[in-house]
Amino acid sequence: MPANWISMQPGELWLWGDIFFIIQVNPPQLASALQAESGKPAEPSPLKYEFAATAFYCADKNPHGSSRRPIASVTIETMDYSKVNKALSAVLSKLAAANGSELKQSTMTGLFTASMRVNLGEYPGALTIDAARQHFIPILRSQLGLEGEPVRGGVIADAWGNPFTGLPARKARSGCGAAVLSLMLLVAVIAVCRAV
pLDDT tens digit sequence for 86-143: 556 666 667 666 666 655 668 999 999 888 889 999 998 999 999 999 999 999 999 9
Check residue 190 and give its pLDDT: 47
Rounded CA-CA distance 7/98 in Å is 39
Domain extent at residue 69? 12-195
pLDDT for 38 equals 77
Q: Judge whether 47 lies within some domain.
A: yes
**Domains held by the chain: number:** 1
Q: What integer pLDDT is reported at residue 61 of this predicted model? A: 87
Summarised one tens digit per residue, pLDDT across range 99-111 is 666 556 689 999 9
83 domain residue, yes or no: yes
Give domain status of residue 122, yes or no.
yes
User: 3 in a domain, yes or no?
Assistant: no
CB 136, CB 53: distance < 8 Å = yes
The pLDDT value recorded for residue 46 is: 78
- Is residue 6 in a domain? no
The confidence score (pLDDT) of residue 3 equals 86
Residues in the chain: 196
DSSP 170: P
Question: What is the per-residue pLDDT for 196?
Answer: 44
Asked if 43 and 187 touch (Cβ cutoff 8 Å), the reply is no
Starting at the edge strand found earlier in the chain, the sheet holding 72-79 runs: 117-122, 106-113, 72-79, 47-57, 19-25, 12-16, 151-154
Q: Is 139 inside a domain boundary? A: yes
Regions in the chain scoring below 50 on pLDDT: 175-196
Is 112 a member of any domain? yes
24 belongs to a structural domain: yes
